[in-house]
Amino acid sequence: MAQFENVSVAKTANVYFDGKCVSHNITLADGTAKSVGVILPSVLTFTTGAPEIMELVQGECKVTLAGETEAVTYRGGESFSVPGDSSFQIEVLDTVHYVCHFG
């Protein structure tokens, strides 16, 4: 899907890691929460509360999930899943545009 219809968008951005990651929370008409954002080239570690699916719209990155030793490369059009109460390290090689699907 190229766009979301009938959504509410939080006006205040979520700014992480000194601006290397910026996102906005959106809520779909059915109450489903997501975030849409950009991560600039960097190496960052994120933690999760709930399970997440990170959908890459554009860009390229290497991701190492908690407990794993090898990074996996993902590009626009691909996604990866992260368990709840976990973490992942992301090395952004080419600015990543993403949608984070929660739960």
Domain of 96, CATH number, reads 2.60.120.10
Domain range for 26 is 8-102
pTM: predicted TM-score of the whole model, two decimal places? 0.94
Give a yes or no: residue 86 inside a domain.
Answer: yes
How many independent structural domains does the chain possess? 1
pLDDT tens digit string along 66-100?
Answer: 999 999 999 999 999 999 999 999 999 999 999 99
Give a yes or no: residue 33 inside a domain.
Answer: yes
Q: What is the pLDDT of residue 71?
A: 98
Give a yes or no: residue 3 inside a domain.
Answer: no
Concatenated DSSP letters for the chain? -----SEEE-SSPEEEGGGTEEEEEEEETTS-EEEEEEE-SEEEEEE-SS-EEEEEEEEEEEEEETT-SS-EEEETT-EEEE-SS-EEEEEEEEEEEEEEEE-
Give a yes or no: residue 2 inside a domain.
Answer: no
Give a yes or no: residue 1 inside a domain.
Answer: no
Give a yes or no: residue 56 inside a domain.
Answer: yes
Q: What is the pLDDT of residue 23?
A: 98
